[in-house]
Homo-oligomer: A and B are copies of this chain.
Amino acid sequence: MKARIIVTLKTGVLDPQGKAIESALKSFGIEEVGSVRQGKVFDVEIVAADGAGVEATLRTACEKLLANTVVENYAIEIV
């Protein structure tokens, strides 16, 4: 079973990396860019007999390791 976890910064948290990408894109002549925010994506393969516990397992993984829930949100998508 495969899952995709997307971790993004919460609204209001400063994102200097995104800002830098935004200016770089503008300097490349891509002026239409309004704002950029960068996040992380994790493609996880899960060995599980049934889908029931998978989301709970992934939620634990996010809370413990993959996301800093003080400043980041996460979304789990089972594919």
Bound Cα distance from A18 to B39, whole angstroms: 15
Q: What 0/1 pattern do residues 1 to 35 of A give for CB contact below 8 A with B?
A: 00000101000000000100100110010101111
List chain A positions with a Cβ less than 8 A from chain B.
Answer: 6, 8, 18, 21, 24-25, 28, 30, 32-48, 54, 57, 60-61, 64-66
Docked pose: A8 CA to B57 CA in angstroms: 23
Give chain B residues whose Cβ lies under 8 Å from the Cβ of A38: 40-43
Report which of B24, B40, B48, B61 forms a contact with A41, defined as CB distance below 8 A.
B40
A sample of 15 cross-chain residue pairs with beta-carbon separation below 8 angstroms, ordered by A number, consists of A6-B41, A8-B43, A18-B42, A24-B65, A25-B61, A25-B65, A28-B61, A28-B64, A32-B54, A33-B61, A34-B44, A36-B42, A38-B40, A39-B41, A39-B43
